[in-house]
Amino acid sequence: MVDILPPSVNSMETFSFASAVDGYHVYRDVWKPSIGEKLVAKREFNNPMDKHTMKVVKGDETVGHLPGEFSRTRGIFLDVVERSVLK
């Protein structure tokens, strides 16, 4: 399960969904996945490959990324949430 926290919204306001985590082969030295584990997805604004990329973190450590179709959908959702909160 991955929780997404909009950065400008109170941390109590989150939503969760089940997702695969891409990039395990890159982060396998820092994370051993377990079924049902709850992780947090955060926007990765400085990613030169995709402006909608969302990294998956456990604590302060990046352990992977959301698949592209989730990142784009969640990124657009977060843009809308952030604009409505900042009004």
pLDDT, residue 72, reads 72
Pairing assessment for the beta strands 39-43 and 54-58 based on DSSP bridges: antiparallel
Instruction: Check whether 67 has a pLDDT greater than 90.
Output: no
Give the residue with greater pLDDT, 43 vs 83.
Answer: 43
| Residue of 54, 43, 60 lying closest to 20 (CA atoms) | 54
- Please state the domain extents for the chain: 2-86
- Please, are residues 6 and 78 in contact by the beta-carbon 8 Å criterion? yes
Third-level CATH fold of 2-86: Alpha-Beta Plaits (3.30.70)
Give the residue with greater pLDDT, 60 vs 13.
Answer: 60
pLDDT, residue 86, reads 44
pLDDT band at 36 (very low <50, low <70, confident <90, very high): confident
